[in-house]
Amino acid sequence: MDFDFSEDQRLLKDSVDRLVADRYGFESRKGFAKQANGWSAEMWAQYAELGLLGLPFSEDHGGFGGGAIETGLVMEAFGRGLVLEPYLATVVLGGGIIRHGASAEQQEELVPQIVAGDLKLALAHVERHSRWNLNDVAVTAKADGSGYVINGEKSVVLHGDCADKLLVTARTGGAQRDAGGIGVFLVDASDAGVSRKGYPTQDGLRAAEVSFANARGVAIGDAGGALPVVSRVVDEAIAALCSEAVGGMGEMLAITVDYMKQRKQFGRAIGEFQVLQHRAVDMFAALEGAKSMAMLATMMATSDDAKARRQAISAAKVQIGKSGKHIGEEAVQLHGGIAMTMEYKVGHYFKRMTMIEQMFGSTDHHLAYVANSGGMF
Amino acid sequence: MDFDFSEDQRLLKDSVDRLVADRYGFESRKGFAKQANGWSAEMWAQYAELGLLGLPFSEDHGGFGGGAIETGLVMEAFGRGLVLEPYLATVVLGGGIIRHGASAEQQEELVPQIVAGDLKLALAHVERHSRWNLNDVAVTAKADGSGYVINGEKSVVLHGDCADKLLVTARTGGAQRDAGGIGVFLVDASDAGVSRKGYPTQDGLRAAEVSFANARGVAIGDAGGALPVVSRVVDEAIAALCSEAVGGMGEMLAITVDYMKQRKQFGRAIGEFQVLQHRAVDMFAALEGAKSMAMLATMMATSDDAKARRQAISAAKVQIGKSGKHIGEEAVQLHGGIAMTMEYKVGHYFKRMTMIEQMFGSTDHHLAYVANSGGMF
Amino acid sequence: MDLSFTPEEVAFRQELRTFFTTAIPQSIRTKVLEGQHLTKEEIITAQRILNANGLAVPNWPVEWGGKDWSPVQVYIYQDEMQLNGVPSPLAFNTSMVGPVIAQFGTDAQKKRYLAEAANLDVWWCQGFSEPGAGSDLASLRTKAERVGDTWVINGQKTWTTLAQHADWIFVLCRTDPTAKKQEGISFILADMKTPGITRRPIQTIDGGHEVNEIFFDNVVVPAENLVGELHRGWDCAKFLLGNERTGIARVGTSKARLKRIRELAALEFEGGTPLIESEKFREKLAAVEIELKALEMTQLRIVADEKNHAKGKPNPASSILKLKGSTIQQATTELMMEIVGPYVMPFAESDEGDGRNETGYGPEYAAGTGPTYFNWRKISIYGGSNEIQRNIVAKAILGF
Amino acid sequence: MDLSFTPEEVAFRQELRTFFTTAIPQSIRTKVLEGQHLTKEEIITAQRILNANGLAVPNWPVEWGGKDWSPVQVYIYQDEMQLNGVPSPLAFNTSMVGPVIAQFGTDAQKKRYLAEAANLDVWWCQGFSEPGAGSDLASLRTKAERVGDTWVINGQKTWTTLAQHADWIFVLCRTDPTAKKQEGISFILADMKTPGITRRPIQTIDGGHEVNEIFFDNVVVPAENLVGELHRGWDCAKFLLGNERTGIARVGTSKARLKRIRELAALEFEGGTPLIESEKFREKLAAVEIELKALEMTQLRIVADEKNHAKGKPNPASSILKLKGSTIQQATTELMMEIVGPYVMPFAESDEGDGRNETGYGPEYAAGTGPTYFNWRKISIYGGSNEIQRNIVAKAILGF
């Protein structure tokens, strides 16, 4: 057991932390949000240059062979900066499907484009009534020659508006909620059968509703047995989100503590009021719990034991959800009115935490999974 | 809508409050607990003399025609005094079965004895695996001449050790958890077929495990359809317990607030520490909620609308359970070590609240009922 | 002791319900029940209908349009308004400046201001909070200096709700800088069109524009705009803040929301099953229902107990109404988000360009869920934060 | 960064597990796992087996029987002991007076006291708390006056755990009444048989007799019983209290209890269905499991981070171990009560006449549930109450 970073990891952490600190200030971020896709193409190029877009891919394809720890380092820094670019969508989600599901040829074709920043991906897996159940798939894929024809609707596709290619879960067989019969299909966003309505999300990121009307796609991996790959990739994405959330929570606590030292009411710093002190301590405790479980998620995200992985990831998501809600709500309450404004940074973290709680399954959704998985000890 | 007591109610309240204040001090109670049955025969005689034992019975049978409000007044005072006598068992539970279930002849025979303090009753309804489900009855009753023969085991029979007669739920037909086929039978505690093991409970009251081996009983009301009566009586008992709990919670808060004013640490009264102040306020809020819901329970306990009654009573039990746990645990924590000792009064209230939470269904048990009852508004 | 409503009270409730559900446009009431924002015109429309029927200012002196209702009647009036989605008459007019003028104002002020406030002919806003004075309101620094027959006001106010619609503002100003904190403050009225008053919108985290900063730069108003005694404006403020004892819990609003949550939870699915059939969801809903029932009973107890408390000496349990009422209202916003699940995420700006999320993707009731959750965090901050409420109760029960 | 245990660490754990489960009598371990109380003899038996195998005082200097383990090894040792129901070596001997003597004592004191403390030949108890000094320990008033070659001790201590078994006591005494609060205190040893020492048992709300009051009435002990410098006993106390950084969370104990809860919940029924099949119960259990997992990871992070913190300058997160660890332990007592339902009520006094509820009615595991719930409320009070822990963390993160 060794909690220290390797030298490479430390270098990576330093460079990403510095990038975010130098380039992703609150005002810069506002500017990025106003750009074409709601994020900065320039920063995206920077990520490519720093090798962040190739982090998890094998060196054979021009990647850097990083693992969940490296991804976590990046995501934690991105959490601090409230980074807007489609890193999770492209590298973790889309890239994850490619890494775990695609053939060698497909990887050879696609990975170098991702690494270079030339290919943006999005995973389209949510449907109107699927909620967070990956197996609840009504979109259909029908074999047609060497490819598939996709029909149906996907919802809240993270960065689906700017993606060059979409990875779509669709059913080649089985009933609507069967685990079998699900494939993942790569669809060109410019395909005539694809129509997209993009919109900002509550936290200032972007998503899209996407319709497929006889859109053409190619299967990534087993066209009827891709659910395990999707599940694995979503678990990796949850682990990454946990790290992002820890970054954001840490900032919220730091900003709140700082405010408590500065802000005066009734003739003294509000941080001198014992009630507020203890509430800051409970935020600190919530952050420690979140850090611990994000670490567990990172450690388990790459486990081949799907059952143990799922349990640990769900447990981590529960902790992150609870800690994020607690820290976010308390950060706002301890600040008072100022944190209710868009001009102040804390509210933006709070909104991001609230969305993270909803992504890939709410706290209750994952608690139910842990509850039914037979005990953690 | 009128929250004021009637003149009679005020007189009743004054006399019971005074009796408890004068005669049921902490030291007196210790003495009572050491007497034969774990309570004071002298106090019992006092209750009879004050008319408390006849409170809910009709004036035709020598009672005083009181309702749930009167019972609540008595129970709240008893809650403040941590009263040990079998009032709930005899008057509310046993007496309730008699009032709602017995024939006119049976009432004419039994009620005057209760009123005079000459007849103590106990309701035997819990079984080893029944938990709090009144319909989960394995004990059997078989018709035999004018009476019934009872066989089986009952658990945690409140004041079952000192009761002169037991009211036993037993099955004359149906399967173990059927609602139909359940009767209530009056069994003489001295019957050769009855054996009892009495014991103190955690809160210093008494209960018993009771075995029936061909014990003889008479049916109170419909020998196969008594569940509605049992349910109604248990609802009345829960309403009474809510009032008792409010009395106890109020004392806990008062004692804690008093201690916070007296106890000095770090050079000042601990009540000057803002953290402890706010926690006392949360205790106060929990008490207000409990008072409100005890009032609702009192109001609804006598409703003939069984569905509305059950929902309100369950809702009140949830509130009382939560408030009692919160106030009890916080009273101990805010005191520190002293409240962990048997020599100090607060711990005894805490233990009583903990047992009340378990009686007639835990907080979760009743929350589930409310959840499945279709909405309170 | 009889905890049921009297036949007269039941009839009173029925009469109000009939009026509210027939006289106030359905479109307005639906928006309120769905937690959507009303336009200025809708708010004015609703209040004028109430006022035309004598129902806008029941809490005022009878002479000025009040009703002299019993506390229970006031409770029923508020409950029925909230239950049926009737917009409350604008609080700045009817619960704040109106009662203050009725209590402390001169006859001339009463004649000039009260009727038009009741009818929302003039829209008032509240100039109390300042950037440096949040919970510590009395540390305010906006000052008014007497110059000839005028007051000259300089300073800054913030969190001024709906000031974008306002015609007039009532301002707490420091008139005696040498006096102790809560002394030397005066309550002064100002026409928002007075030169030197500027407003800057504040965008809140729900995306909307509900509050504003107001700047006073040598704003000159007539001396007669002082309400009450000079330097005794704190009395007006205390009167105003303590004025609304019931209603703050918004029991009716929460009741209506819980009903709506139950309906909507039947429309969303998890694993093919409606959410309302999930035991877990039902228990969460039931837990909030029980809290609300307790709050309603507490409110009724406080209402009934009012006769035992001197005016201005509220029952300490009153603060519990704010504490519990805010927590429950906030809990309803969480349940609403839970119902729509992933559909809480889209943020589609309204056509009005005011930054609100009005249309949305997914079910139409999804759009308001996130913004309302964010926006309603304010409920535990404003009107005396929950921390301040706890301080008040602590003082009452502990004496410290 | 590698968060899995090394093969060496895994082997170390296995070795300890084998030893604990074979060398320590099953009867003792079962009692610990069920939350029952051990007799004096059982505690002594277990510790002597550990000591004979070099496992009683691994935290001591190697010279006196310590092990010089890595923090991870210490963690594994504690975890395995708790998981397998091995009674921890008596804390008063092995975590408190022993380390203090090893650190501050003279050679003569080390020779005289350490070996017999490790082997529990002498049973120590702790004379710190006083009736007037709870969380404010430094306000203690028990005084020791130098008279010739002796100390004369007068005063009263309380909450003295298991003093009924104790042979010796270590006492914080005020030796300089003129000095400031935390100065002028000394750390003095006393034989419990010294004339003038009397003890009075305190019955706790679980019915048991675990703590005592100790009275000192002109108790004369040799001058050489002073440990460390005169008037610098607060240094010893701080060292002692800060000594046990890991282990306080009792993660292993809670793990074992959660496993046991899962087993027992299969044996109790509601509506004919085992409780463990209730979704609600499972979710409550899972919520505690997740908290415990987070705590375990936090503890490991702190353990790994120890090298970055100067001795005596603990990571502020250490206090979180106490806060969360106590809450989790208390949560396990609630789950246990929930399992037995109505059977929490019987209170059957043990044959030993010590007021404990040992036998009980209903399932045999029911008897301990209520008393353990009551007794374990102490966990958030003793060893620096949770309020004090929050004050400590607040100071660390806010500086106030």
For B306-330, the pLDDT digits (tens) are 999 999 999 999 999 999 999 999 9
For residue D273, the distance in angstroms to the closest alpha carbon of chain C comes to 16
Mean pLDDT of B82-106: 98
Q: Per-residue pLDDT for C90 more than 80?
A: yes
Pick the CATH number of A122-224 from 2.40.110.10, 3.40.50.2000, 3.40.1390.20, 3.40.309.10: 2.40.110.10
Together in a domain, C288 and C391 = yes
Residue D2 contacts C, CB cutoff 8 Å: no
Together in a domain, C202 and C83 = no
| Residue A86 contacts residue A39 (beta carbons within 8 Å) | yes
- How confident is the model at residue D312, as a pLDDT? 55
> Which residues of C participate in catalysis according to the annotation?
244
Q: Report how far apart the first and last C-alpha atoms of chain B are (Å, whole number).
A: 19
**Helices (DSSP H) in D147-267: which residue ranges?**
233-243, 251-264
Residue environment code for B202-211, b if the CB has 16+ CB neighbours within 10 A, otherwise e: bbbbbbbbbe
Q: Helix, strand, or coil here: B84?
A: coil
Helix (H) / strand (E) containing B197: strand B194-200
Q: Per-residue pLDDT for B150 more than 80?
A: yes
Together in a domain, D36 and D133 = no
Q: What are phi and psi of C12, to 5 degrees?
A: -60, -45
Together in a domain, D62 and D174 = no
Mean pLDDT of D138-142: 93
Between D355 and C241, the more confident residue is C241
User: Closest Cα to residue A71, out of A25, A151, A22, A13?
Assistant: A13
Together in a domain, C57 and C157 = no
CATH number of A228-372: 1.20.140.10
Q: Per-residue pLDDT for C117 more than 70?
A: yes
Question: Are C279 and D283 an interchain contact pair (Cβ–Cβ within 8 Å)?
Answer: no
For C131-186, the pLDDT digits (tens) are 988 888 889 999 999 999 999 999 999 999 999 999 999 999 999 999 988 899 99
Interatomic CA distance for residues A37 and A24, integer angstroms = 17
Facing A202 at nearest CB: one of C132, C338, C347: C347
Range of the domain at D138: 124-232
For residue C76, the distance in angstroms to the closest alpha carbon of chain B comes to 12
Confidence of residue D2 (pLDDT cuts 50, 70, 90): confident
Collect all residues of chain D within an 8 Å Cβ-Cβ radius of residue C279. Answer: 279-280
Q: What are phi and psi of A209, to 5 degrees?
A: -90, 135
Average pLDDT, chain B: 97
C-alpha distance from residue D266 to each of A109, B169, D262, D276, D282 (Å)? 54, 27, 7, 5, 11
Instruction: Mean pLDDT check: name the lowest of A51-55, B264-268, C348-352.
Output: C348-352
Tokens of C241: 């803040």
Tell me if C327 is assigned to some domain. yes
Together in a domain, C250 and C384 = yes
Collect all residues of chain B within an 8 Å Cβ-Cβ radius of residue D382. Answer: 337
Q: Per-residue pLDDT for B344 more than 70?
A: yes
Question: Are D378 and B337 an interchain contact pair (Cβ–Cβ within 8 Å)?
Answer: yes
Together in a domain, D150 and D81 = no
Collect all residues of chain B within an 8 Å Cβ-Cβ radius of residue A333. Answer: none
Confidence of residue C306 (pLDDT cuts 50, 70, 90): confident
Q: What are phi and psi of C123, to 5 degrees?
A: -100, 120
Mean pLDDT of C353-380: 83
Q: How many CA atoms are closer than 13 Å to the CA of C197, on its beta-carbon side?
A: 25
| Residue C130 contacts residue C140 (beta carbons within 8 Å) | yes
User: Closest Cα to residue C154, out of C168, C136, C141, C163?
Assistant: C141
Residue environment code for A307-346, b if the CB has 16+ CB neighbours within 10 A, otherwise e: eebbbbbbbbbbbbbbbbbbbbbbbbbbbbbbbbbbebbb
Confidence of residue B22 (pLDDT cuts 50, 70, 90): very high
Residue A133 contacts C, CB cutoff 8 Å: yes
| Residue D241 contacts residue D272 (beta carbons within 8 Å) | no
Residue A278 contacts B, CB cutoff 8 Å: yes
- How confident is the model at residue D135, as a pLDDT? 82
Cα angle for residues C145, C147, C150 (degrees, 5° grid): 90
Mean pLDDT of B207-224: 98
For residue D140, the distance in angstroms to the closest alpha carbon of chain C comes to 26
Residue C262 contacts B, CB cutoff 8 Å: yes
- How confident is the model at residue D329, as a pLDDT? 97
C:305-364 residues touching chain B, CB 8 A cutoff: 305, 316-317, 320, 323-324
- How confident is the model at residue B362, as a pLDDT? 97
Interatomic CA distance for residues A176 and A169, integer angstroms = 12
Mean pLDDT of B254-281: 96
Residue C283 contacts D, CB cutoff 8 Å: yes
Interatomic CA distance for residues B314 and B293, integer angstroms = 10
Is residue A150 packed enough to be buried (19+ CB in 10 Å), middle (13-18) or exposed (0-12)?
buried
Q: Helix, strand, or coil here: A220?
A: strand
For C271-301, the pLDDT digits (tens) are 999 999 999 999 999 999 999 999 999 999 9
| Residue D185 contacts residue D142 (beta carbons within 8 Å) | no
- How confident is the model at residue B122, as a pLDDT? 98
Mean pLDDT of D275-300: 96
Residue with tokens 């921390």: C387
Collect all residues of chain A within an 8 Å Cβ-Cβ radius of residue D287. Answer: 318, 367
- C-beta neighbour count of A144 within 10 angstroms: 12
Together in a domain, C227 and C340 = no
Mean pLDDT of D38-58: 97
Interatomic CA distance for residues B37 and B46, integer angstroms = 17
- How confident is the model at residue C354, as a pLDDT? 58
Express the helix, strand and coil content of chain A in percent, nearest 5 each: 55, 20, 30
C-alpha distance from residue B133 to each of B42, B138, B361, D272 (Å)? 36, 12, 8, 10
Residue C374 contacts A, CB cutoff 8 Å: yes
Task: Give the contacts of D328 (CB within 8 A, at least 6 positions apart).
Answer: D254, D288, D291, D292, D295
Last-in-domain residue among D204, D232, D260:
D232
C-alpha distance from residue D170 to each of C102, D135, D180, D220, D227 (Å)? 72, 19, 22, 14, 9
Mean pLDDT of C367-385: 93
Confidence of residue C358 (pLDDT cuts 50, 70, 90): low
Question: Are A3 and D9 an interchain contact pair (Cβ–Cβ within 8 Å)?
Answer: no
Beta strands at C185-191 and C168-174: parallel, antiparallel or unpaired: antiparallel
Average pLDDT, chain C: 92
Q: Per-residue pLDDT for C244 more than 80?
A: no
| Complete DSSP assignment for D188-212 | EEEETTSTTEEEEEEEBTTS-EEEE
Facing A265 at nearest CB: one of C135, C159, C370: C135
Collect all residues of chain A within an 8 Å Cβ-Cβ radius of residue D279. Answer: 368, 371-372
Is residue D139 packed enough to be buried (19+ CB in 10 Å), middle (13-18) or exposed (0-12)?
middle
Q: Per CATH, is B7-119 categorized as 1.10.540.10? A: yes
Beta bridge partners of B264: B269
Q: What are phi and psi of B218, to 5 degrees?
A: -115, 145
Interatomic CA distance for residues B87 and B91, integer angstroms = 5
Mean pLDDT of C73-91: 94
Question: Are C361 and A155 an interchain contact pair (Cβ–Cβ within 8 Å)?
Answer: yes
Instruction: Mean pLDDT check: name the lowest of A163-172, A280-289, B83-92, C236-245.
Output: C236-245
Between D37 and B297, the more confident residue is B297
Touching partners of C (3+ C-beta pairs < 8 Å): A, B, D
- How confident is the model at residue C181, as a pLDDT? 85
Q: What are phi and psi of B273, to 5 degrees?
A: -80, 125
Touching partners of A (3+ C-beta pairs < 8 Å): B, C, D
Facing B3 at nearest CB: one of C282, C285, C304: C304
Beta bridge partners of A277: none
Question: Are A280 and D397 an interchain contact pair (Cβ–Cβ within 8 Å)?
Answer: yes
Average pLDDT, chain D: 92
What residue spans define the domains of chain A?
7-119, 122-224, 228-372
Amino acid at B314: S
Confidence of residue C352 (pLDDT cuts 50, 70, 90): low
- How confident is the model at residue D205, as a pLDDT? 94
Facing D271 at nearest CB: one of B136, B209, B340: B136
Q: Does D34 participate in catalysis according to the annotation? A: no
Residue B278 contacts C, CB cutoff 8 Å: yes
Together in a domain, D256 and D387 = yes
Question: Are C289 and B375 an interchain contact pair (Cβ–Cβ within 8 Å)?
Answer: yes
| Residue B356 contacts residue B327 (beta carbons within 8 Å) | no
Last-in-domain residue among C69, C89, C109:
C89
Interface probe, candidates A127, A202, A274, A353, chain C, greatest C C-beta count within 10 A = A202
- How confident is the model at residue B223, as a pLDDT? 97
Question: Are A336 and C134 an interchain contact pair (Cβ–Cβ within 8 Å)?
Answer: yes
Beta bridge partners of A172: none
Touching partners of D (3+ C-beta pairs < 8 Å): A, B, C
Tokens of B126: 């819990």
| Complete DSSP assignment for C221-253 | EEGGGEESSTTBHHHHHHHHHHH--SSTT-HHH
Question: Are B1 and C300 an interchain contact pair (Cβ–Cβ within 8 Å)?
Answer: yes
For D215-251, the pLDDT digits (tens) are 999 999 999 999 999 999 999 998 888 766 556 899 9
C-alpha distance from residue B72 to each of B7, B19, B51, B84, B358 (Å)? 16, 16, 15, 16, 19
**Torsion A249-A250-A251-A257 (CA) sign:** positive
Confidence of residue D91 (pLDDT cuts 50, 70, 90): very high
Together in a domain, C383 and C303 = yes
Collect all residues of chain A within an 8 Å Cβ-Cβ radius of residue B333. Answer: none
Residue B141 falls in which region: left (phi positive, over 0), alpha (psi -120 to 50) or beta? beta
- How confident is the model at residue C309, as a pLDDT? 66
- How confident is the model at residue A4, as a pLDDT? 87
| Residue C124 contacts residue C92 (beta carbons within 8 Å) | yes
Residue with tokens 């304010």: C378
Amino acid at C254: S
Confidence of residue D267 (pLDDT cuts 50, 70, 90): very high
Interatomic CA distance for residues B283 and B32, integer angstroms = 30
Interatomic CA distance for residues D185 and D130, integer angstroms = 14
Among D244, D296, D334, D338, the active-site one is D244
Q: What is the DSSP letter of D6?
A: P
- How confident is the model at residue D34, as a pLDDT? 81
Q: What are phi and psi of D168, to 5 degrees?
A: -135, 160
Q: Per-residue pLDDT for C359 more than 80?
A: no
D281 → chain C, closest CA residue:
C280
Beta bridge partners of C199: C214
In angstroms and rounded to an integer, the radius of gyration of the C-alpha atoms of chain B is 21
- Count of domains in chain D? 3
Q: Per-residue pLDDT for C351 more than 90?
A: no
Task: Give the contacts of B43 (CB within 8 A, at least 6 positions apart).
Answer: B23, B24, B32, B83, B85
Mean pLDDT of B290-299: 97
Q: Per-residue pLDDT for D4 more than 90?
A: no
Per-residue pLDDT of chain A in tens (377 residues, 90 and over written 9): 788 899 999 999 999 999 999 999 999 999 999 998 999 999 999 999 999 999 999 999 999 999 999 999 999 999 999 999 999 999 999 999 999 999 999 999 999 999 999 999 999 999 999 999 999 999 999 999 999 999 999 999 999 999 999 999 999 999 999 999 999 999 999 999 999 999 999 999 999 999 999 999 999 999 999 999 999 999 999 999 999 999 999 999 999 999 999 999 999 999 999 999 999 999 999 999 999 999 999 999 999 899 999 999 999 999 999 999 999 999 999 999 999 999 999 999 999 999 999 999 999 999 999 999 999 99
Residue with tokens 């109670």: B29
